[in-house]
């Protein structure tokens, strides 16, 4: 057992020991910590792994954190527990969900050299498993709260690299604002960092919820099939170009350019999904209806664009000035159960241990 | 003007002068001829050109002729006309539709060395422009009737090569049954031929009609955009494999294998369409609903598969024994206006000049 905790290959490369001022509050070796993280919506998608063991993605990706939507997670070390306990939205989780959290905590325990079981209490203010990436905010919050509870002082890149082992896209929920997840081909370092702060551009993400049920095929499972599509290699080969165009569109606040590359990238990912073996169709008829409505609204001059993750819900991104109109139109679309709102948001952060911060307000 | 008719580069390669017994009825230099051709449904799709001037497709394709659906076309030489006249389903056509027919007739006139204008009377027994390839049966019938009216004696390969200049997929409606359209890389010969007769396999094509209106972007225009998709090269590169799998599935009458490769190929073509610039979405929400229903019906054991051309209508291919059940289920689907039926059918053929054959019966 002890050898597991000292396995150097499990360390997320050379990044893990760099001190970082923003987390120095933890150095009193707290035995419990609470963190808050936002989901993110990718304009350039992550789909498929180049190196599954080290969770190295097939292509770089680019996203925006989504404030208004949050996961708050408290990790408490409790050596008296026989095993980790996970309470998610007030309900005790067992099976695969617990196991995934345990495996992730094992990584933190190895880094800390401390095998203590933990109590994990996690709460989302949005429905999980339906295309709003709860695993991203969940593992970002768990990485930060877990590292803090175990007294680890990780710089943002190391924390982002750590979070990616819980869920790839979780690494993008560690830094704030507009974020790129890049892998260094030489060192293998793979983490996300901000390239523009949340104040940079007043966008809104109007998330049309078509289903609140769990996906048939979760994205972690689905993306293992990416390589079976005849199209994945071409999608990946073209990704550096899309990263550049998307970054430029955001830096220039060029909405039309952002719309073109965002829709293309979403369509490319779903093209790979639909041509995997077996094929994965995350779109529902209602998803397609919204995508086509967005194209009509663009012709009318409304600054909107769409992107879909591994689920049926449609993220309709717009300039904030067009948000009210977009919301009104989306609520009229058939099959839309609800519309959630997200705005560019800051990084994952620690909260006071006895925080009563309402998730509705962050 | 005369030099146009003697331009040797306009001849469809070395194929055009081979005599063929099935068309020898024409050698009395008839000045009018009537031909009937069926549309075809491609299991392996044609989308994109390698050589636009010579109408050489980016990839080989494979299809089945659809009996029950027909175009009947009469071409009558009339030197007294000032220009060609086209009557389609009883209505006189002008503009782009007429021009396309004229350009095609020019090719026949050059081959025949006879500049006579013609009257073209053409009739479909199915709605045009909505994903049932009326251009395929239309130009196949026009090629055969036109060649016959001008007294040309073309063998099937030459006739197929000629038809492809009217509409690429028309070349596949010349031979009978199950058909492959291949291009010889060395000679450039590009025509379709049968690899199994129509009696080979009792399939049915239940075509769920979701729209009878004309497509926003016709396939001839749409496929010019194929090269703008980052996925087209990969789709084409994988096409020889799909041709082989599809041919084997048909020769072995292996429905599950046919279903897998047919759906993959359809999804690949629509993936290219949706990621072209500008993107082309031929699917409607109702199309996606039927595709997903077909996947559920397969799980229940119904031998069905789907494929879509450049339109919203869904071709639900099934074993004939499952046709009644498939029809019942399709008619219950929301948005389905009608269901057309097609069965494996024979080649394009000449009809007696004063034919009163009802299109409903062929």
Compare all CA atoms of chain A with the CA of B290 and give the residue at the minimum distance: A285
Q: Which of A267, A281, A291 sits opposite B292 (nearest CB)?
A: A281
Report the complex ipTM.
0.85
- Say which residue, B11 or A312, is predicted with more confidence: A312
pLDDT of residue B29: 46
Domains present along chain B, CATH in parentheses: 2-7+20-200+345-352 (3.30.230.10), 203-344 (3.30.70.890)
Detail the DSSP E strand segments found in A231-361.
Answer: 304-307, 314-319, 338-344, 349-351
For residue range A20-62, what is the model confidence (pLDDT) as tens digits? Answer: 444 444 444 459 999 999 999 999 999 999 999 999 999 999 9
Q: How far is A285 from chain B (nearest CA, A)?
A: 4
pLDDT at B30 over 90: no
> CA-CA distance, B70 to B361, in Å (whole number)?
9
In chain A, the percentage of residues whose pLDDT exceeds 70 is 86
Q: Is the peptide bond before A278 cis (omega within 30 degrees of 0)?
A: yes
Average the pLDDT over each of A105-114, A123-132, A288-297 and give the range with the smallest value.
A123-132
For residue range B49-61, what is the model confidence (pLDDT) as tens digits? Answer: 999 999 999 999 9
B-chain residues near A269 (CB < 8 A): none
Mean pLDDT for A225-229 is: 97
Kind and range of the H or E run holding A299: helix A285-299
pLDDT at A3 over 70: no
**Which residues are CB-neighbours of B51 under 8 A, at least 6 positions away?**
none
pLDDT at A139 over 60: yes
Sorting pLDDT into bands at 50, 70 and 90, what band is A221? confident
pLDDT at A361 over 80: no
Mean pLDDT of chain B: 89
Distance of CA B350 to the CA centre of its chain: 17
Compare all CA atoms of chain B with the CA of A335 and give the residue at the minimum distance: B285
> CA-CA distance, B327 to A276, in Å (whole number)?
28
pLDDT of residue A195: 98
pLDDT at B44 over 70: yes
Mean pLDDT for B154-169 is: 97
pLDDT at B8 over 80: no
For residue range A176-204, what is the model confidence (pLDDT) as tens digits? Answer: 999 999 999 999 999 999 999 999 999 99
Question: In this complex, is the C-beta atom of B283 within 8 Å of any C-beta atom belonging to chain A?
Answer: yes
For residue range A257-298, what is the model confidence (pLDDT) as tens digits? Answer: 999 999 999 999 999 999 999 999 999 999 999 999 999 999
Kind and range of the H or E run holding A324: helix A323-332
B-chain residues near A267 (CB < 8 A): 271, 274-275, 279
pLDDT of residue A218: 76
Give me the helices (H) in chain B, please: 2-5, 96-112, 134-149, 156-164, 219-222, 232-237, 239-251, 255-274, 285-299, 323-332
The alpha-carbon radius of gyration of chain A (Å, integer) is 20
Mean pLDDT for B151-174 is: 97
Interchain proximity B235–A231, CB inside 8 Å: yes
pLDDT of residue A134: 82
**Which residues are CB-neighbours of A173 under 8 A, at least 6 positions away?**
A37, A38, A39, A40, A65, A136, A137, A139, A140, A163, A348
pLDDT of residue A132: 66
Residue that the structure tokens 């026989």 belong to: A82
B114, with CB counted inside 10 A (0-12, 13-18, 19+), is middle
């Amino acid at each position: 057992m002890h050898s597991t905790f000292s396995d150097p290959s499990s360390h997320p490369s050379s990044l893990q020991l760099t001190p970082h001022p923003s987390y120095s509050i933890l150095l009193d070796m707290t035995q419990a910590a609470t963190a808050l993280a936002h989901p993110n919506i990718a304009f350039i998608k992550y789909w498929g792994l180049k190196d599954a063991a080290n969770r190295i993605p097939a292509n770089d990706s680019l996203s925006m954190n989504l404030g208004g939507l949050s996961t708050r997670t408290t990790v408490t070390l409790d050596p008296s527990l026989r095993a980790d306990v996970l309470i998610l939205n007030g309900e005790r989780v067992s099976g695969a969900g617990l196991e995934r959290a345990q495996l992730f905590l094992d990584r933190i325990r190895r880094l800390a050299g401390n095998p203590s079981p933990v109590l994990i209490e996690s709460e989302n203010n949005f429905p999980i498993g339906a295309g709003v990436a709860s695993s991203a905010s969940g593992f970002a919050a768990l990485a930060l709260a877990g590292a803090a509870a175990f007294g680890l002082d990780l710089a943002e890149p190391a924390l982002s690299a750590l979070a990616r082992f819980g869920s790839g896209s979780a690494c993008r929920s560690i830094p704030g604002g507009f974020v790129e997840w890049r892998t260094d081909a030489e060192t293998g370092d793979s983490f996300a960092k901000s390239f523009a702060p949340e104040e940079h551009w007043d966008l809104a993400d109007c998330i049309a919820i078509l289903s609140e049920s769990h996906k048939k095929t979760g994205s972690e499972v689905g993306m293992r099939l990416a390589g079976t599509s005849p199209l994945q290699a071409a999608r990946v080969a073209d990704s550096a170009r899309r990263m550049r165009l998307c970054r430029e569109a955001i830096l220039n606040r060029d909405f039309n350019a952002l719309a073109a590359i965002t829709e293309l990238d979403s369509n490319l990912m779903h093209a790979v999904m639909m041509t995997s073996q077996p094929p994965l169709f995350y779109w529902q008829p209602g998803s397609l209806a919204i995508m086509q409505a967005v194209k009509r609204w663009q012709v009318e001059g409304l600054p909107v664009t769409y992107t879909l993750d591994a689920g049926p819900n449609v993220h309709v991104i717009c300039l904030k000035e067009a948000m009210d109109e977009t919301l009104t139109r989306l609520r009229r679309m058939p099959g839309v159960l609800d519309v959630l709102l997200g705005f560019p948001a800051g990084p994952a952060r620690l909260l006071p241990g006895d925080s009563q911060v309402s998730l509705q307000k962050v």
